[in-house]
Chains A and B, each alone.
Chain A
Amino acid sequence: MRVNRHIGAVAIFLVLLLIWQALHTIGGEIVLASPAETALKLYSMLGDGSFWENVAWTSYAFVLGLVIAAVGGVSLGLALGVSRLSSAVAGPILINLYSIPKVTLYPLVLLCFGLGISAKVAFGVMHGMIPMTIFTMNAIRQMKPVYLRSARVLRLTPLQTAWTVVLPAILPEVLSGIRLGFSLTLLGVLIGEMFASSHGLGFLITSAMNVGDTETIMAIAVLLAAFALTSNAILVFFSRQVAP
């Protein structure tokens, strides 16, 4: 079964590559750069110092956003999930916040935080924090009530209860929330850079889009997809280790 799955992954990869090449052959350079050209472009970009500066800008904003979103989201989820009433009150509000197009609010973020890196971080946090809160909160609601009762019998303080009882019990769901939040924080930071920034990968994408440079667009897309897939695989591996 394991070998089978790897063959499947390779097959899907090859099919995607074929579709890509076919689109290039039909539409020409103006639609899509060919896979070979993209690989060459990516290779030359990886050897370019200014490209790494942009990667560093994006990574910095992303890591900062992810840490704030994870700590904030999980703590907020813990706080709201402990009581049935507060989670019932907050649930629909959070789901609605999750599904509004947050791009709409980007001008507000820019007006509050200015045009610098803090606006990008804030925008990443806005995207990533809510799913983590929702996952954590729902996980506590579905936890076996006996855990909380035991904590009360042992007279644990709320902080002790959260740290030694609740968090270990809901770790798998928290990790799924962090996986989703990871993707969305990256998306938020990139969209922020695409709309208003003069650094970072999002800025590179927008400037490549404006001049129709499909090689750069595809090279960054491949890089981002590789990064997202690798990180997801690592997070999945990690969550299997801690919560089999």
Chain B
Amino acid sequence: MKLESWIRLAVVAGSVGAIELLCRTGVIPNSVMIPPSDMALALASILSSGEMTGDIVSTFTNVALATLITVVLGFVLGQSIHAVPWLRASIEPLLASYYSVPTFMFYPVFIVLFGIGRAPIVAIAVLLAIVAMIMSTLNGLDRIPAVLRKTAHIYRMSRVATALLIELPAAAPYLFTGMKLVVAYAFIGVIASEFILSGSGLGYRIAYAYNNFENGKMYGLMLLVLVSVTLVNSGLNAIDNRLQARRRR
């Protein structure tokens, strides 16, 4: 491991240790935050009792579905917008300020359109994540060297063949960066929808525990979300770094 990784580990471990100490000594009251070691114990008991397995599976399924839909739809939309320069010039300011409108407020619309259950949550997550995918697709397509497209032209490839055989592989590193963002946004969209609006899933369970003063359960579940999101992100980051390094060669 490199020096910076060791220092990073020390910084994280030190912060956790400091919180543990502050909680144990009572500087942070137990009603505000329980010690990290107790969070881990609470998480272990939640996982071993299996009482939340359904919610956990449901949340992760929603995230996976939303990611899949967003990546495909975002790439197709990005391709189409990229192909029409005037459309792109006028749509980009819209995309840039997109994230300040809370997508969650359209949840009632989706409930009426898709019914209660999984579909409106996935729809919100897709709505939240799709702009990141469109932007990455535009960015990736911008950076394809002109010579590749010219080659496709010489071979008289069709528009679809050019997109699939030339543009997709050439833009792949940028698309992967987009996909990484999509996964992050899908997590945010799914958990936030469950938190504010739904009756199942991890987000709902955390809000429920908060409302009922069940601090142990609440912090156990928070830890579960934080740890799983961190693991997924670090995995994707490691792949991303490899792809970026390959591009620089």
Interface positions of A (Cβ within 8 A of B): 1, 4-9, 11-12, 23, 27, 30-32, 85, 88-89, 92-93, 95-96, 98-108, 110-112, 179-180, 182-184, 186-187, 190-191, 194-195, 202, 205-206, 209, 212, 214, 217, 220-221, 224-225, 227-229, 231-233, 236
Contact = CB atoms under 8 A, between A and B. Distances in A.
Contacts of A221: 101, 105-106
Nearest to A2: B89
Contacts of B113: 27, 31
Given A88-B4, A103-B203, A224 B100 contact: yes
Nearest to A11: B90
A190 B103 CA distance: 11
A103 B11 CA distance: 24
A111 B101 contact: no
B76 interface: no
Contacts of B207: 107, 195
A100 B225 contact: yes
Nearest to A32: B109
Contacts of B105: 194, 205, 209, 217, 220-221
Contacts, number: 163
21 contacts: A4-B86, A8-B90, A23-B109, A88-B4, A89-B4, A96-B230, A99-B229, A101-B192, A106-B195, A179-B96, A182-B100, A187-B99, A194-B105, A194-B196, A195-B196, A195-B207, A214-B108, A217-B105, A221-B105, A224-B101, A232-B97
A184 B32 contact: no
Instruction: Tell me if A's interface is mostly helix, strand, loop or mixed.
Output: helix
Given A184-B99, A228-B101, A8 B192 contact: no
Contacts of A206: 196
What 7 A-B pairs have minimum CB-CB distances, sorted nearest first? A8-B90, A99-B184, A183-B100, A232-B97, A107-B210, A228-B100, A228-B97
Interface in B150-200: 181, 184, 187-188, 191-192, 195-197
A220 B233 CA distance: 34
Interface size class of B (residues with CB under 8 A): 35 or more
Interface in B199-223: 203, 206-207, 209-210, 218, 222
Nearest to A233: B93
B191 A104 contact: yes
A95 B87 contact: no
Nearest to A223: B101
Given A100-B225, A220-B105, A224-B102, 5 more contacts: A31-B112, A100-B230, A190-B102, A214-B108, A232-B93
A101 B187 contact: yes
Contacts of B203: 101, 103-104
Contacts of B222: 104-105, 107-108
Nearest to B29: A111
Q: B108, B181, B209, B210: which has the most chain A beta carbons within 10 Å?
A: B108
Interface in B61-111: 86-87, 89-91, 93-94, 96-102, 104-109
Contacts of B230: 96, 100
Interface string B108-152: 110011000000000000000000000000000000000000000
Contact of A5 (B89, B184, B188): B89
Nearest to B186: A101
Nearest to A210: B108
B96 A104 contact: no
